[in-house]
Structure 1
Amino acid sequence: MKFFSKETAVSLFLIVTLGWLIPNISLAHFGVLLPSDDIVEANESSQITLLCQFMHPFEQGFMELQKPESFAMFTRGKNKDLLNSLKTRSVSGCTTWIGTADLERPGDHIFYFVPQPYWEPAEDCYIKHFTKVVVNVFGLEEGWDQPVGLKTEIIPLTRPYGLWTGNVFVGQVLLNGKPAPNSEVEIEFYNKDKKIEAPSGPYVTQVVHTDPMGIFSYSMPKEGWWGFAALNEADWKMKHEGREVAVELGAVLWVYVADMK
C-alpha cells in the first residue's frame, strides 16, 4: 500500500531535516523591579510605587508571577517588610504585582523581592530570581553598595543611579555571600512599547562573564532601564513530577541611565 507520493516524502524529509538545523532560541528570563522614580528629591512625593514582574524585557513577553515569597526595603542596615502592600495587576494576561513604600529618611533604599520558583519546561528547570533596585532618597548617597544578604545578589561597585548613557556599570556577583567567578551575566534593555527592534537575535540579550572575583562591567548604550541577571545553578534540586530537576538562581539588579540633553 502506498501511503505517500514521492513529492510528499521529499517534503517531509526536508521539514524534519531543516527542523534540526533551526537553532533553539531561548529568550532570557528576568525578574523585574521598577520604581516610579530612582532618585527622589526632598520636594517630591515621599511615596513611590514599584512594579514586580517576570518577563523577557526586550521582547516585552510577560510570564505568570505568583505572589513573591518576600518583598522588602533595606535601608540603614534594616529590612522593612512590604509584602502586604502588593496588589495584583494583569499584563498581557499574566499576573504581575505593584507595591508601595513610604520614604521617611534620607539615604539609599534597596528594594528587593524573592519570587516563588518558576517552572520553565523549555529549560527543564526551575528559575528563581532574587531581584533588586536601588532608590536614592532626599540626596543622601549612602548605602547603595551594601549587601542585603540574599542567596545570590549583585553588589554595585558603580553607584547605581545618576548614570548617563554610555557610563560603565561595574558590579560584583555574590553567591552564598561569596564572589561568584565565571558567572554568566545576561543584560537586557526594558523595551517599553517595543520601540526598539533588534536587527537579529543576539542583539536582544547582551552577555558577559564575571572575573575570578565575580566582577563584571558593561556600558549602557541607551536611555532607560537596564537589567543585569547573573546566573548560577543551585547546589540543591527541586522535584517536578516525581523527578529531581535543577534550579537556576538569578541575581538581578536594575539601573536607570539618562541621556545628556
Structure 2
Amino acid sequence: MLRNLPQLLLTAILFCSFTVSAHFQELIPSHDIVSTPSESRLSLSLKFTHPMSQGPLMNMARPVQFGVVGPEGRQDLLASLQPQSIRGAQTFNALYQIKRPGDYLFYVEPAPYWEPAEGKMIVHYTKVVVDAYGMEDNWDAEVGFPVEIVPLTRPFGLWTGNLFQGVVKRNGKPVPFAEVEVEWRNDGSVTPPADPYITQVVRADANGTFSYVMPKAGWWGFAALLEGKKTMKNPEGKEVAVERGGLIWVFTRDMK
C-alpha cells in the first residue's frame, strides 16, 4: 500500500488540478456597446469552457433556449445558431442585427451537460447585456430563469477597477449567502501563480447581494451555482444531482 502512495498522491493532485477550474457557459458578443451603425451587426459566441484556464472546451449540445429581450420585446433566436467545431468540440455562433436604440439582453439555456468527474448534470443559465446608442432603458431586466443574477451595477460602460454588484435569485427570490464564482476570460496575457487565482469566490449577503471589483480589462463572468432541488438522469439513465447556475458576463476597459 505504501509503495503505491506516490502514485495515489499524483492521481489526487492531477484530479484536483482538473476540477479546480470552474465550468462557465460563455455568451460573448462582438461588442458590448453599439455606438455606430457599423457595429450594429453583432456576432455572438457560445462556448462551454474554463475561461481563465483557456480551456478545455466542452462539447455543447444544441441549447434549449437562445433569445434576446430588447426594444422589440422577447425574440426567439434559436434558429439563428450555427454549430462550429473547435478542437473537436461543438460550439455555436449567431448573428444579430440591432435596429433600434435600447438595451439588448441576450440569453441562453444550454442543454444539460453531464460531468462524470463531479457526478452531476450542469445547466448554466447565461446572459449578457448589449447597449445600443445610449438608450440605457432595460439593463436590469430579468429573463425569468430558475437561477439568475440580476445586476445592481449597470453591466456595461465599466472601467477597470469598478465595483460590480448583483443579486442572486432562485425562482425570482433572493438567495441568502449564495456562493458566486468569478473568472476573467483569459486572453493569454496572465498565468495564474496558483490554483486559487483561477476562480475567485465571493459570498452573497443575507439579501442575496454580492460585490466584486474587477482588476483587469476584458470579459468577466459571474456564476451563482446552486444545487438543484430535483435530480436528473445522466446519459446512463441514473438519477444524479443537478448544478443550476445563473451567469452574467460584463466587460471592462482601462481608463486612458
TM-score under structure 2 length normalisation = 0.93
Once the two structures are overlaid, the 10-residue window that deviates more, 47-56 or 16-25, is 16-25
Once the two structures are overlaid, the 10-residue window that deviates more, 177-186 or 36-45, is 36-45
Contact 1:42 1:139 in 2 (8 A): no
Q: 1:76 to 1:225 in 2, by over 3 A?
A: same
Instruction: Say whether residues 1:209 and 2:212 are aligned partners.
Output: no
- CA deviation string 1:165-189 (max 9, x = no partner): 0000000111111111121111001
Aligned equivalents of 2:2, 2:118: Cα separation in 1? 32
For 1:1-261, list aligned pairs within 5 A. Answer: 11-16=3-8, 19=11, 24-25=16-17, 26=19, 27-61=21-55, 62-76=57-71, 78-192=73-187, 194-240=188-234, 241-261=236-256
Aligned equivalents of 2:9, 2:61: Cα separation in 1? 39
Distance apart, 1:15 and its partner CA: 2.8
- For these two proteins, the number of residue pairs brought into alignment is 252
Aligned equivalents of 1:69, 1:20: Cα separation in 2? 35
Q: 1:158 to 1:77 in 2, by over 3 A?
A: farther
Q: 1:22 to 1:48 in 2, by over 3 A?
A: closer
- Structure 1 stretches lacking a partner, 5+ long: 1-8
- RMSD (Å), alpha carbons: 1.8
TM-score under structure 1 length normalisation = 0.91
Aligned equivalents of 2:36, 2:189: Cα separation in 1? 33
Read off the aligned partner of 1:223 and give its amino acid letter: A
Contact 2:165 2:209 in 1 (8 A): yes
Q: Which has the larger radius of gyration?
A: 1
Please state whether the residue corresponding to 2:39 is helix, strand or coil.
Answer: coil
Q: 1:189 to 1:239 in 2, by over 3 A?
A: same
- CA deviation string 1:185-226 (max 9, x = no partner): 11001012x221000100000000111111100000001000
Q: 1:12 to 1:215 in 2, by over 3 A?
A: same
Aligned equivalents of 1:231, 1:177: Cα separation in 2? 15
Identity %: 48
Contact 2:71 2:101 in 1 (8 A): no
Aligned equivalents of 1:260, 1:101: Cα separation in 2? 29
- CA deviation string 1:125-166 (max 9, x = no partner): 000000100000111011001111111111110000000000
Residue 5 (structure 1) aligns with: none
Aligned equivalents of 2:12, 2:186: Cα separation in 1? 31
Contact 1:236 1:246 in 2 (8 A): yes
Aligned equivalents of 1:13, 1:223: Cα separation in 2? 44
Distance apart, 1:100 and its partner CA: 1.1
